[in-house]
Amino acid sequence: MMDISVVSGKLLSHRADLLAVLMREGAALPEMNLGGLVARCAREEEFKGGENAVLSLHTHGKIGAPRLALIGIGREKDADRTLEQLRNAASRAVKLAKAAGAKTLAISSPVSGEREVQALAEGASLGAYVFDRYKKEKKPLKLERVQILARKALAKAASQGAEIAGAVNLARDLVNEPPGRVTPRALADAARKMARAHGLRCEVLSRAQIRKLGMNLFLAVSQGSAQEPQLVRISYEARGTPIALVGKAITFDSGGLSIKTAQGMENMKVDMAGAAAVIAAMRLVAALKPPFPVRAYFGACENLPSGTAYKPGDVIAGKNGTSVEVLNTDAEGRLVLADVLAWAVEEKPAAVIDLATLTGAILVALGPWTTGLFSNDDALAAEISDAARIAGEPLWRMPLTPEMEELIKSPVADLKNTGGRYGGSINAALFLQHFVGKTPWAHLDIAGPASVDKERGYNPRGGTGAGVRLSAPRAR
């Protein structure tokens, strides 16, 4: 377990196996009493402090740390961009420390207020993450301590950053597990375990209870699988009106009878990343204790083809009475979310936010790293956009174009579950909107950033924990 703390001390005399000094592009090189060695190496390697640039050298015992790394964070742009530069640099420092076999790492930053220290702690912890549970040869983490050189009064900010990163890593673990391990029941058990450990209430409802609630859309999606569906509600209690979080929890998506290609199924274990995010977010809620109640909901099931699977052409009535003509069984996430959203809004929350790997169309629109935000409430959308910017989670608000409603109207039911090829992510969001009534609602389509196919900054290959950090309270 890697410890992250804030320590005050002199840069040159501080003892650590590796000292990482973060510096702005074009800033003067730090005077390290190394007889001009830093300047000479920087000149030879053309190191100028550009973002992601690294200059690494031995100090030959002339300062407290035997190894020194100068890590560029680029030019100053705006406060939010600075936080992301610090996260990436702290992650880079941890990776350098791991490669060098260091047990202790000290990080010095040119900016060190509350938000900056929190960002450094986040980046360090996120950068240390590795998922190697199923590898025969593992590389144990030798790095035991990361020390952020700053005022000790900022210790709480570092602790909060580590707490946030720990929650993100929980979501990453859940997404990275094979679908044969994270079944609907196993995902519900993970929610129970988290809730028990952090003093939250967790309710898990069975198929019979789901049927009693009238969640026929959810049950239809689940009926092709031998795995029992699980409906989960996690509660943090406080005074006031609750905020509701809803996560998509398709633990494996084959497409059902509208079956995907073999290649299209390769990464479909990721289709429960929304639920992983809300489980992790509730862990943060328990740690940070907001002054209002928070509830998280998800309906977990598999979408598989079999003799009992639901079929294209089926007409099914959802929990709120809206009937849906199923044209494509691979547009299943919106069906499950529809029923769970309808359940969540029955408790009259102040707002409901859902996170879902809902559409491939959002990748076409926004690329692989940006979340699509849809909302029926401008104030809620602005608040989420601000939180995402501070958290360093790229997000773009998309339209809920009323004119496109006609694309999801059915001749035999109230709605159909797909609106055709064009505007796919918008059609899906418009569909969900029919199940939230007048409740302020935001839909986050995380199909792009939920998983990456190669390392990118502090995100390793695989699950990223997208959506968790933007839900966390931040230092003001």
Q: Annotated catalytic sites, by residue?
A: 260, 334
22 sits in which H/E element: strand 18-23
Q: What CA–CA distance (Å, rounded) separates 355 from 365?
A: 18
Q: What CA–CA distance (Å, rounded) separates 18 from 104?
A: 7
CA distances from 313 to 171, 223, 261, 329, 413 (A): 36, 16, 21, 10, 11
Task: Look up residue 439 and give its amino acid.
Answer: T
Residue 413 CA neighbour count, 13 Å, CB half: 18
Q: What CA–CA distance (Å, rounded) separates 464 from 173?
A: 9
95: Cβ contacts below 8 Å, ≥ 6 apart? 127
Phi-psi region of 81 (alpha: psi -120 to 50; beta: other; left: phi over 0): alpha
Task: Look up residue 418 and give its amino acid.
Answer: T
CA distances from 106 to 22, 155, 310 (A): 11, 14, 57
234 sits in which H/E element: strand 230-236
Task: Look up residue 379 and give its amino acid.
Answer: A
**CB-CB contact of 375 with 439 (8 Å):** no
Q: What CA–CA distance (Å, rounded) separates 212 from 125?
A: 44
Q: In sequence order, which ranges of 346-408 are alpha helices (DSSP H)?
A: 361-366, 378-391
